Amino acid sequence: MSEASAHHAADRRELTAAQRNAVAELLRVSPVADELGRRFVRAGHELHLVGGSVRDALLGRLGDDLDFCTDAHPDETLRIIKGWAESIWETGREFGTIGAQRDGLRLEITTFRAESYDQVSRNPVVVYGTSLDEDLKRRDFTINAMAVSLPDHRFTDPHGGLDDLSAKVIRTPSTPGESFGDDPLRMLRAARFAAQLRFAVHPDVHLAMTEMAADLDRITAERIRDEFTKLLCGADPITGLRLLVDTGLAERFLPELTGLKLEIDEHAQHKDVYEHTLTVVENAVSYEEEGCDFILRMAALLHDAGKPATKAVGSDGRVSFHHHEVVGARLTKARMKAMRYPKDVTAQVTALVALHLRFYGYGRGEWTDSAVRRYVADAGDLLPRLHKLTRSDCTTRNRRKAAQLAADYDALEDRIARIAAEEDLARVRPDLDGNAIMELLGVPPGPVVGRAWKHLKEQRLEHGPLDRDAAEAELLRWARAEGILG
């Protein structure tokens, strides 16, 4: 062995020892885990901290959720923790999992598994295993296939997860084909971990993801949605998104993303929509104040989803995407519905996609105060996100143009603030409410009141607040013109 190789090997041994000591120290300052381990041992059973908990402990980011595995079956686990746990839940019992809470920690204790799949069903069939090694082998990735036994803190790593963690690589305990054949969702989880941990997938894993992408069709929309949401909310969503596109996984559940890779030729050049979109997502992340804003990130991802369907080449060779925001909003709504996102989340993302182009043209000085009011009214509670999305959408490399767009939007925000100081823009409503309309017109509740209310709101947006006399005069004028009053 060369001197350099020996030095590298020594560094790896020191790193491994340091990481193992970190796990032991984290467990030492968390007496709940050791206390629980002693209870299982006294009852004649094993208990091991496992999976993501060990991985996160090694990364120095262990949270309040701890995952354990044991040879005890759920009924036995319940007997062991009864009277000790502050609360217990059995929602995962059919999968061998019992949940508990103690001293502010959420604990999930799962019986050793040896899951089997029929290659057709969309959910695993749980078969209890008999050993820790068997349990670790069935886990998705080597970095999640490590365990710390309790209470003695013995470290078990049969698949080289510690080395992979040090190398920042995602690899499977068994062959990728076997692992993904068992549960195709693991392909999406590989991309998710790449985004969350900033890790690279092993070439063999990448190849299997590409060859087996169609197997993702066996998975329910809800499970795909949950994994994709975690991916998009990762520390590095761009890496995860590129993996989805490069392996063909995106085509199985989010074809709009792959569709952004429009052909660019020398005669009809335009901005690379796919690369532009990834940059917009990256920009949107930088505007977040704390935590992941999924609605903003998803709107950034799909804001140009309508471009492929609206691409046109003019006689001068220039490419246009007229009304792509309208088409994009429709596609966004349909895709998020197919992925089973909640209606309120879908509505917010769709609205942002529909509004993301509204700002362009402001710099030409064409906007009146009424246009600003409409911009604010249409955005509603989404206005802060719309500000961020619009700024994120500026990806031009032309510094002068970028500076001008930024200055224009600064001016718009200043103008919104000025008008808001004079009017309650967040709650633009007619100057007369429904009761006043019915009393003044002498009509009962019904369509006429709604039409009158809408007309007065339009007047409010166009001209700003009206005093009581002016509002009543406008209502009467409208009612006569509509034939409601003689």
Mean pLDDT by 10 residues, the chain (486 residues): 42 52 66 94 96 88 90 96 95 92 94 69 68 93 94 91 94 95 95 96 98 96 97 97 98 95 54 90 94 97 92 78 90 97 97 90 70 82 92 86 82 82 56 74 81 75 72 77 75
In the prediction, which pLDDT does 334 show? Answer: 97
The token pair that represents 253 in the structure block: 């559940």
- The DSSP 8-state label assigned to residue 214 in this structure reads G
The token pair that represents 163 in the structure block: 């080395």
In the prediction, which pLDDT does 12 show? Answer: 42
SS3 148: strand
The token pair that represents 306 in the structure block: 């309508």
In whole angstroms, what is the distance from residue 381 CA to residue 383 CA? 6
The token pair that represents 28 in the structure block: 């030492």
In the prediction, which pLDDT does 295 show? Answer: 97
CB 141 within 8 A of CB 193: yes
- The DSSP 8-state label assigned to residue 65 in this structure reads E
SS3 240: helix
In the prediction, which pLDDT does 418 show? Answer: 80
Torsion 110-112-118-119 (CA) sign = positive
In whole angstroms, what is the distance from residue 3 CA to residue 5 CA? 5
In the prediction, which pLDDT does 86 show? Answer: 95
Q: What are phi and psi of 436, to 5 degrees?
A: -65, -40
Q: Which domains does the chain have, with CATH numbers?
A: 10-167 (3.30.460.10), 290-427 (no CATH), 434-481 (no CATH)
What residues contact 185, with CB distance under 8 A and at least 6 apart? 216, 219, 223, 224, 227
In the prediction, which pLDDT does 483 show? Answer: 76
In whole angstroms, what is the distance from residue 452 CA to residue 231 CA? 47
In the prediction, which pLDDT does 119 show? Answer: 53
In the prediction, which pLDDT does 24 show? Answer: 67
pTM passes above 0.85: no
In the prediction, which pLDDT does 16 show? Answer: 59
